[in-house]
A and B are shown apart, each in its own frame.
Chain A
Amino acid sequence: MQSWAHEYKTGLGQSEVQRLKLYHGFRGSMDATEDFIATSTQQPLQIHLSTVKIEFVYLGKAREVVGTKEEEFVLPKPAKIEQALSQAFAAHPKLSELKETLKLLVNGRWAQENEELKDGDRVTLLPPVGGG
């Protein structure tokens, strides 16, 4: 298990920004995130956090609105699907417009929002697929 601070120091790519947002349950603007990142850089957090790293797979219309097919999220334990979804919807407001129509798979099996996620789980978001 690695501390959040360690992970943060290893690089500041998009996924790390995402991790920061997740860690703090952040829902606000990117400015606030950047402020937090700047502060954290000066004074790295010393706490250790147990996390799970999961991957979202966006298909069909979901892929279109998110702009990518796969995206990694790091969540504090215990992490349920509904928490992961909240983070994804916060990061991609247009995705939240599809919320009612999406179906969920975890590692290829149907899942409910209240299920707990494990490290390495792959969560697939399926919009309706019709005849064609």
Chain B
Amino acid sequence: MLKGYMGKVLRVNLSTGKIGTEPLQDGVARKYIGGRGLSAKILFDELKPGIDPLGPDNKIVVASGPMGAIPFSGNSRFSVCAKSPLGVGWGESYSGGFMAPKIKQSGYDAFIIEGVSKSPVWLYVNEGKAELRNASKYWGKSTEETENGIKKELGDTDKRQTSVATIGQAGEKKVRFAAIMNDLREAAGRSGMGAVMGSKKLKAWGCKGAQKIPVHDEKRLKEYVRQCVTEVKKGPYIQPLHDYGTVGDTDDLNASGRLPTKNFSRGTFDGADKLTGETIVSSGLLVGRDTCWACSTNCKRVVDAKEPYHLDREVGGQEYETSTAFGSYCMNSDMYSVAKANQLCNLYGMDTISTGVVVGFAMEAYERGIITKEQTGGLEIKWGSPDAIIKLVELIGNREGIGDLLGEGVWRAAQKLGKGAEEFAMHVKGREVPMHEHRGKRNVGLMYAIADRGACHMEWEHDDYWESETYLKPELGLVAAELPNRTLLDYGPSKTKIAKIQADLWSMCDSLVVCVFDIYPGGGIEHSTLLGILNAATGWDMTMNEYMQAGERAINLTRAFNAREGLTRKDDTLPKRLMEPLPDGAFAGKPFGQDILDTMLDNYYELRGWDKNTGVPTRAKLETIGLEAVADQLEKMRRLPD
């Protein structure tokens, strides 16, 4: 019997209403782990290239990991993957809260959701049984109304009895960056997974249960869990994360000229001190700290206010990405409006990064006369206007007026607007660029360009940690040889090697589905400890080499998924503006030019065993990591490099 897993995958066909259970085989589990890896395996095997991501052929995979429901800090994540409606290829998203253990305790390791329902439904999974229920009464409702309604429908007396994940109006209306919200304030935000749910008329799913997960060696497992308690606090990021949340990074990034400002045209913002984690605390906007399941870090913000905007403390406080996206990115220094915009996104169910980038794009288009007052229905969308930001969020969430165009995301909106709007549409592979200034940390520029899900800031830890020997680990291949010279601007082969190794490790975190904030280097939990937990839970004898290779395998699978869709090296790029130098801050005048990107791509492809001309994995590479069938399929489609 498979240990560490429930050994079951739930398959739900919304077109036919058929619900079935399929076994999760040990060989598949060990090779693909869970989360990202397992989802990539399922979607590569089951999706045909070229399908419409918002059509009936797309599938959603919701997955936990093999360590799900084992209580240690950071072990509270789950993944949602599908073909992305934002770009043209792979889509993935992760969320915290209380859903991950509930997926396991409800009896399953993963759900595969396919087809399209004729009418709105929600999926109820409870103690190894699943059913589709009528969701018509929730259609048109916010995420909060839906979650509360479902819990009432189930007769829950405890807030944590059922974990509910739901879309809001934005997902129903197929806003391409619609999020899935769970536990009211947690978001599987990126890649438009909420729009895929909406296209299937799946309003929500809810998990309940108390099934026990079989583990191989409970005694050893408990020892490792105790070790995590000690280790996690050793991470340099943990206490600041608790005190000020991720938004605590705002002043650091502004001081170093790396705070995305005015649609990535500047690196510093005069009003940044009004948006910091410290200001949120000292102003009284912060009324509490909250947590995900089993986590001691408590990085979640609880905010509340009556004026100037009425806030709802149940639906979350701003984190760094959100605060910057609706703050400096839009030249807005009003943290209350940021809090409101964040909560509206959570209620409509929209990714706050993409929404903020779309609003910043609209403000620049308005300034340039590409979007007119007639198109906005008389709304003045000037830089820094808090009310304009909030109104635009509402219009996008409802796909009303100019919000209908903006709900397409910046890539498609810019194409429709024309008149040079593509020049300031900040996206890679259709996905809006997150709030990190890569011109002051060059591995992030590589990450933006290379990520299969589109512009992403979470493929590996950022450059700052690798500027000294303090956080390097020779046992993981992270060595000091040819260390960069501490300028954050290096982009040579040793720095790219750090990116590659870190990407394998974080890819494994996405397959185990754990929170990287609690894991080395920012958090203190060591990968060797995670490996110990994995082996104790499953009974495997996995080595660190196999652990890292599982991460590498998932990266190659998503790359193969995109190659099958026709993506090549030309898609591993950056918007023109992001290659130009910043005019201000500590990195003023230092471009991230095409020459730099090409050097980094060449080095990265070489380290990965990918063809330098196409950016596609070679047969030799795929065979090395047990993906022969993937190589065969790419070859059949003439996508495999010669």
Contact = CB atoms under 8 A, between A and B. Distances in A.
Interface of A: 57, 59-61, 63-64, 69, 98, 100-101, 103, 105, 108-110, 124, 126-132
Interface in B481-495: 486-488
Contacts of B252: 59-60, 126-127, 129
Contact of A101 (B321, B444, B462, B470): B470
A73 B471 CA distance: 30
B370 interface: no
B319 A64 contact: no
Interface in B204-254: 236-237, 239-241, 243, 246, 248-249, 251-253
A128 B320 contact: no
A61 B521 CA distance: 13
Contacts of A110: 487, 586
A64 B236 CA distance: 10
Interface string B264-308: 000010000000001000000000000000000000000000000
B145 interface: no
Contacts of B486: 103
Given A63-B240, A103-B486, A128 B586 contact: no
5 contacts: A101-B465, A101-B471, A131-B444, A131-B461, A132-B320
Interface of B: 236-237, 239-241, 243, 246, 248-249, 251-253, 255-258, 268, 278, 319-321, 436, 444, 457-458, 461-462, 464-465, 467-471, 486-488, 516-517, 521-522, 585-586
B464 A130 contact: yes
A69 B241 CA distance: 16
A55 to B, nearest CB: 13
Given A124-B256, A129-B256, A132-B246, 18 more contacts: A57-B255, A59-B252, A60-B248, A61-B240, A69-B278, A110-B586, A126-B252, A127-B236, A128-B236, A128-B465, A129-B258, A129-B464, A130-B237, A130-B461, A130-B464, A131-B444, A131-B461, A132-B321
At the interface, is chain B mostly helix, strand, loop or mixed? loop
Contacts of B461: 130-131
Contacts of A109: 586
B246 to A, nearest CB: 4
A126 B255 contact: yes
Q: Which one of B237, B319, B517 has the highest number of Cβ atoms from chain A below 10 Å of its Cβ? A: B237
Contacts of A100: 468-470
A132 B255 contact: no
A64 B240 contact: yes
Contacts of B464: 103, 126-130
Nearest to B459: A131
B255 A108 contact: yes
Contacts of B256: 103, 105, 124, 126, 129
B462 A131 contact: yes
A79 B255 CA distance: 23
A55 B237 CA distance: 24
A105 B586 contact: yes
A128 B319 contact: no
A98 to B, nearest CB: 8
Contact of B586 (A98, A108, A127, A130): A108
Nearest to B245: A132
A56 to B, nearest CB: 12
Nearest to B258: A129
Nearest to A69: B278
Nearest to A111: B586
Contact of B240 (A60, A103, A126): A60
B499 to A, nearest CB: 12
Nearest to A65: B239
Contacts of B321: 132
A105 B252 CA distance: 11
B527 to A, nearest CB: 16
Nearest to A61: B236
Nearest to B486: A103
A59 B273 CA distance: 12
B255 A64 contact: no
B77 to A, nearest CB: 14
Given A61-B236, A105-B255, A108-B255, A132 B517 contact: yes
A129 B467 contact: no
A132 to B, nearest CB: 4
Contacts of A63: 240
Would you list the 3 A-B pairs with minimal beta carbon distance, nearest first? A128-B464, A132-B246, A100-B468
Most buried by A among B236, B268, B457, B467: B236
Most chain A CB inside 10 Å of its own CB: which residue of B241, B243, B321, B465: B465
Contacts of B236: 61, 98, 101, 127-128
A98 B444 CA distance: 23
Contacts of A69: 278
Nearest to A109: B586
B457 A131 contact: yes
A132 B521 CA distance: 13
A28 B457 CA distance: 45
A105 B521 CA distance: 23
Given A105-B255, A110-B487, A60 B249 contact: yes
Given A60-B248, A103-B486, A108-B257, A128 B457 contact: no
Contacts of A128: 236, 462, 464-465, 467, 471, 521-522
Nearest to B441: A129
The interface centre, meaning the residue of A59, A103, A110, A129 with most chain B CB atoms within 10 A of its CB, is: A129
Contacts of A130: 237, 461-462, 464-465, 521-522
Nearest to B584: A108
A124 B457 contact: no
Contacts of A57: 255
Contacts of B239: 61, 64
Contacts of A59: 251-252, 255
